[in-house]
Amino acid sequence: MFLHGGLAHIFFNLFALWLFGQGIENLWGTERFVKFYFICGVGAGLIQLAVSLFVAGQNAPVIGASGAIFGILLAFGMMFPDQYIYLIIPPIPMKAKYFVIIYGAIELFSGVTDTSPGIAHFAHLGGMLFGYIMIKYWRYKGELY
């Protein structure tokens, strides 16, 4: 999570962290936010490792914090589902919940079809999965707010 594949990779991860993370951190507090971020990142790496070992039969290194970022993105979509996100491409406003669903579906499609080799799509999905599980668990326990 502390290595990246170039300046563009780290820039976009940091931009997304700033864009979506500040609202989540303000809602949850820094301690819960940091715990969530790291668990999503580690979970993303574990999912990517499992998929690469057991499905593809290979072991490829994974770098970056994108899995944790996708967990934060999912949290934003779940905590602020009706918040509008103004996209550049396509230039339309979109509710956060739809953006997260569409982006997740694109990642799943890309991972299954391998249309973008060199990108750890299942790490992104793993970050979302671990984030979803944590949010549901915290809601169940009544500890989310």
Alpha helices for the chain (secondary structure H): 7-28, 30-54, 66-79, 96-113, 121-141
pLDDT at 105: 96
Provide the residue ranges of all domains of the chain, joining segments of one domain with +.
7-141
Query: Model-level pTM greater than 0.85?
Result: yes
Averaged pLDDT, groups of 10, the chain, 145 residues long: 80 93 96 97 93 77 89 97 89 94 94 82 95 96 81
